[in-house]
Amino acid sequence: MKKRPALNIDHEKLRENMKTVVSWCSEAGIDVAGVFKVTSGLASAALDYEACGAKWIASSRLEQLARAKEAGVGIPMMMIRVPMISELDDMVKVCEYSLQSEFSTLKALDEAAIRAGKIHNVILMADLGDLREGFWDLDELVDVAKYTEEVLTGLNLAGIGTNLGCYGSVIPTGKKMQQLAEYAEAVEAAIGRPLEIVSGGATSSLMPVFDGKMPSKINMLRIGGAAFVGALEETCRIYGRRELKVLHDDAITLEAEVIEVRTKPTHPVGELGVNAFGKKAKYRDRGDRRRALLAVGGADFGEIDDLLPQLPGSEVIGCSGDHTILDIEDCERIIKVGDVIRFKLHYSAILRLSSSENVAKYETGEIGCLL
């Protein structure tokens, strides 16, 4: 019998999404690094990305990249969270590329690469205002680039890049991308050769591509979100784009099983303290309503806002660690114990569900290697 809760991964839909993302980019002269961290490092998702034309596989976690390599991904691996000094020896064995923003780490990485007998490729990050990782000063970026080029023999300066939107909510406008292009030109002037990579950001940097505002100097994007949840109504709203609608919004879905069905009051009965998460919650009194209790909870998916029930007329009204309450008063379908409810998922729910040991993973469709 199928185990539940179940995370269903439809590789046909996933690959169609990835192909679409890669084709949008390649029309603009941009190569894609396929970011698969939202799946908690599902190797089959990395194989799909490779089959769909990604030039690198990227993640913020070394363990995930190691797993993908083990599974047979042949394209270069890219570490996209600036690494810890303590993981550099492992990193040079697993990854050919990494994003960097500290001089001391670059020097330690150079030594680690030499120890391993490898040349490791680095992309120096410029912080253009989002205030997470990256060199703030152009002069410092250029100095470190020059030093990497001339002194650090274990490293190849592959390029520069930026990240926007993750902390500071800064939008990757054509203007920001132009600034990155100018930074790249300053580095190229200092080292006297063209850079292989100018990496313009993540899913949010697809918007200047759609608008035809991406400077030709930007030749790489690191894309995760678009391929996995790009078409969700909410994602389209965040980016204000209908273009994303052509993607599938159900490549990864959740199935949860109904364990109780009853009509109950909507306002708790008794003196109220705090809920399972230690929070004082608010309850709207809507009288008695029919609800289904599901065997999946916040411990698995995080926040109920990240679940989109596919049962018409239903609404998720709350959860504890291991239970979810679904209002089904307005549903036409008769719901009974043992029924299965399907959900589309926002990014953070996929992130959590894919790493939960309580959630079974079912993969359908051929994986990777179709090219």
Ligand X SMILES: *Cc1c(COP(=O)(O)O)cnc(C)c1O
Task: Note the residues at the interface with ligand X (CB under 6 A).
Answer: 35, 37, 60, 80-81, 163, 202-203, 222-226
Q: 280 catalytic, yes or no?
A: no
Q: Which is nearer to ligand X, 215 or 225 (CB)?
A: 225
Q: Which is nearer to ligand X, 5 or 224 (CB)?
A: 224
Tell the smallest beta-carbon distance from residue 202 to ligand X (Å).
Answer: 3
Q: Where are the beta strands (DSSP E) in the chain?
A: 6-10, 31-35, 56-59, 77-79, 97-100, 120-125, 155-161, 197-199, 220-223, 252-265, 288-294, 307-309, 315-319, 324-327, 340-345, 360-364
Tell the smallest beta-carbon distance from residue 225 to ligand X (Å).
Answer: 3
Tell the smallest beta-carbon distance from residue 230 to ligand X (Å).
Answer: 9
Tell the smallest beta-carbon distance from residue 12 to ligand X (Å).
Answer: 21
Q: Which is nearer to ligand X, 197 or 316 (CB)?
A: 197
Secondary structure of residue 345 in the 3-state scheme = strand
Looking at this protein, which amino acid is placed at residue 353? L
Tell the smallest beta-carbon distance from residue 307 to ligand X (Å).
Answer: 19
DSSP 186: H
Convert 6-45 to b/e letters by CB count within 10 Å (16 or more is b): bbbbbbebbbbbbbbbbebbeebebbbbbbbbbbbbbbbb
Peptide bond into 5 cis (omega under 30): yes
Q: Which is nearer to ligand X, 80 or 304 (CB)?
A: 80
Q: Which is nearer to ligand X, 99 or 292 (CB)?
A: 99
Q: Which is nearer to ligand X, 64 or 163 (CB)?
A: 163
Catalytic residue among 13, 37, 55, 217: 37
CB contact at 8 A, 291 and 313: no
DSSP 172: -
Nearest to 216 by CA among 6, 19, 30: 30
Tell the smallest beta-carbon distance from residue 305 to ligand X (Å).
Answer: 18
Distances (CA, A) of 239 to 68, 244, 345: 30, 9, 17
Distances (CA, A) of 72 to 9, 21, 57, 65, 273: 19, 23, 12, 11, 53
| Residues with a known catalytic role | 37
